[in-house]
């Protein structure tokens, strides 16, 4: 039995990649075989196998097995812009069958797959589809990364409502402290804990130079993601 999770966030820049990598490491170090995935990425750099996305490379490095980059990140676009705009500018329609095939390979090799989205939950793939379609297409549970800053309550509750409206299971949420000066942070966390009908897997503290090891240490409840 394996489990697969789609990691989304309340916005772009809330630490989805850091949290996903930290969950992979926490689970891997506890003896669970894991695989990270970035189905669609925008923003390319030079990588060991050719052009790559730095977030996808981090997820590849934190996985139990080193899968080919094209499996970890089936769709990569050069400019760091909204993926559907990048795809349109390249004259490409994102074929989700490529994502399904890559996910099948990862799921066959790991007990837990974590696939990180791009931006927030409803970021478009094209005029008709969005990242919100992927959990249903891939049979995934959902994890939500909440960027703890002013406005996070509204963003988190809107996102959880959108997840529930599609009939997906929200398996948990993670708070990431991205604003060192966030007023009443504890009160906001308490509000989120009371209003999100899913367990909190941990709160990543504000880190001036955030690293995977420090973030992983803040996620003791990651064990809840293990297969039964």
pLDDT (tens place) for every residue of the chain, 228 residues total: 799 999 999 999 999 999 999 999 999 999 999 999 999 999 999 999 999 999 999 999 999 999 999 999 999 999 999 999 999 999 999 999 999 999 999 999 999 999 999 999 999 999 999 999 999 999 999 999 999 999 999 999 999 999 999 999 999 999 999 999 999 999 999 999 999 999 999 999 998 998 999 999 999 999 999 998
Torsion of CA 154, 160, 163, 168, to 10 degrees: 180
Q: Please give the pLDDT value at position 1.
A: 79
The pLDDT value recorded for residue 204 is: 97
pLDDT at residue 228 in the model: 85
What the chain holds in terms of domains, given with CATH numbers, is 3-225 (3.40.50.300)
* pTM of the predicted model over 0.85: yes
Q: Which residues of 144-183 are buried (b: 16+ CB within 10 A; e: fewer)?
A: bbbbbbeebeebbbebbebbeeeebebbbbbbbbbeeebe
State residue 101's pLDDT score: 98
Question: Dihedrals φ, ψ of 71, to 5°?
Answer: -80, -40
Active site residues: 38
């Amino acid at each position: 039995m394996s489990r697969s999770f789609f990691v989304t966030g309340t916005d772009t820049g809330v630490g989805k990649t850091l949290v996903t990598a930290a969950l992979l490491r926490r689970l891997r170090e506890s003896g669970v075989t894991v695989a990270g995935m970035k189905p669609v990425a925008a923003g390319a750099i030079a990588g060991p196998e050719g052009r790559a996305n730095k977030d996808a490379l981090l997820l590849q490095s934190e996985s139990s097995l080193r899968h080919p980059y094209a499996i970890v990140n089936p769709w990569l676009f050069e400019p760091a812009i909204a993926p559907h705009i990048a795809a349109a500018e390249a004259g490409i329609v994102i074929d989700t069958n490529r994502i399904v095939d890559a996910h099948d390979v990862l799921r066959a090799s790991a007990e837990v797959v974590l696939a990180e989205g791009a931006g927030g939950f409803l970021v478009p793939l094209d005029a008709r589809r969005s990242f919100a379609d992927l959990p249903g297409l891939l049979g995934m549970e959902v994890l939500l990364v909440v960027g703890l800053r002013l406005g996070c309550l509204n963003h988190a509750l809107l996102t959880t409502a959108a997840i529930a409206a599609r009939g997906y299971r929200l398996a948990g949420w993670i708070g990431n402290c991205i604003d060192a000066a966030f007023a009443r942070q504890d009160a906001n966390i308490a509000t989120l804990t009371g209003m999100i009908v899913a367990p909190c897997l941990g709160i990543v503290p504000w880190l001036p130079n955030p690293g995977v090891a420090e973030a992983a240490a803040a996620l003791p409840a990651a064990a809840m993601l293990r297969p039964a």
